[in-house]
Structure 1
């Protein structure tokens, strides 16, 4: 007969092995479940990629990252194929061959573009003029945006945008891009500055500007005071598939590849179809 102490040790070891095996089994089950759910959730994207995609654009990202980004992009576009799809560009995209920018993922029409015009008090995007003309020639619905610098004078920033952007009938409302927190002023003063910019620009163009920001930034700092403005929200969450009802535009990825543009591009979905999009453009 085994000694009582030795017997307890044997029982303890058996229990330890049992719980170790049990934990591994449960962990493996949940890991497999997550993979199965992911494959099912993005099944159209996986089928599309396996059937049609090439690796011709896999240069900025690793091959696996490029595949995952393409699958995500296709899945979201496929789900929203009745909505207007567009993109946004700045000098960071380099020279653009606008005549090639007709589709994304070889299947979805691109109908509009937002173009960075200005930043801060005196910065003009070096490719704004050529991009603005190129988008017009390509017959894209176009919009211009200003990158707001919190630590610079808001009225001077508004003047910088107004001096450099002439909007025409059919163009989208001007956009205020706010992403950074101030370093030398309070949040209260930031909001005063944003309100100044929005008011001056609205008065000049006769249309309420659109606010662009990340979802968290908007909810934390802007929603309470600026909810009356149309929203263009950036959220790249892999698991998000839909726009919120109060989002006019949703920027859902920064990793798209479009024919005619060498660098990666942000993609956006409008909360409506192309006819709805035309209705928000300038009337005169």
Structure 2
């Protein structure tokens, strides 16, 4: 009788253990599903944080409509401020005689263009864009930083490619990706070397561009002595942070004379204040 009772107890214990395992498994499955749904919903933001652009992604019609509404909301809110675009070879051969307004209504005051990337890449459209925008807009040039390449060679690539004159914006460093072959400390040392070499050459302090998450996590504290141009495309963000010099709020605007989508930026001030930021 005692033996039979012992067996019964073990049976109940096994049932309890199985139930616990089932509960844990169910919670894990639910967690994975929820994370998957969140990742899908915010996939553009995650990809941007990892250093990817989404220009190659075709948006659904509804998504694009919502995005267009946000563009108008932000441009309307900042209609008294200074608005500009940034371009690279991915916009193709731009007709700068027609590229004067964003979404057909908002005048373009400044244009920032990619000049170089890494230690040896020159943007295929830089020379044409730089020449065609002279005298039409406040111009700026940026270097796309490759974390796994020598920082001084990258600075030399920018210097030999870009000649800045009075009225141009200071040189700009675009850093978006994390390194694969070095530590974060080494990355930050490389960024500092680039910035110092560029400042020594052009006699003006560079501007740093990055996404907001990257800026907050890796740059804000150690590079607080620089001005920042920050990208944040969130549907919920309608106003720029006061400490930002420039805010890139969308990468999907339409501009006459440009075949592909264009990034749009707001300067934290009026045009004369932006001119004060330029090389004197």
Partner of 2:45: none
1:203 to 187, 200, 205: 200
Q: 2:180 corresponds to which residue?
A: 183
What SS does the aligned partner of 1:225 have?
A: coil
Residue 114 of structure 1 corresponds to 112
CA distance in 1, matches of 2:110, 2:161: 20
**Structure 1: runs of 5+ lacking an equivalent:** 1-58
| Alignment equivalent of 2:157, drawn from 149, 157, 160 | 160
SS at match of 1:226: coil
In the TM superposition, 1:244-283 aligns within 5 A as: 244-283=241-280
The one of the two structures with greater contact order (alpha-carbon pairs below 8 A, sep at least 6) is 2
Distance 2:91 2:99 in 1: 13
Give the superposed CA RMSD. Answer: 1.2
Cα separation, 2, equivalents of 1:245 and 1:126: 35
Task: Kindly report structure 1 stretches of 4+ aligned residues shifted beyond 6 Å.
Answer: none
Which residue pairs with 1:104 in the alignment? 102
Q: How many Å separate the matches in 2 of 1:105 and 1:80?
A: 14
Structure-1 separation of matches of 2:63 and 2:77:
21
Q: Structure 1: how far apart are the matches of 2:140 and 2:70? A: 26
Q: TM-score, normalised by structure 1?
A: 0.77
The separation in 2 between residues aligned to 1:212 and 1:135, in whole angstroms, is: 21
Decide whether the 8 Å contact of 2:98 with 2:256 is kept in 1. yes
User: SS where residue 144 of structure 1 aligns?
Assistant: strand
Please state if 1:64 is matched with 2:62: yes
Residue pair 2:104, 2:256 contacting (<8 A) in 1 also: no
Q: Specify which of 202, 210, 213 is matched with residue 213 of structure 1.
A: 210
2:146 maps to 149
- Structure 2 alignment gaps of length 5 or more: 1-56
Q: CA deviation at 1:101?
A: 1.2
Aligned length: 224
Maintained 8 Å contact 2:104/2:255: no
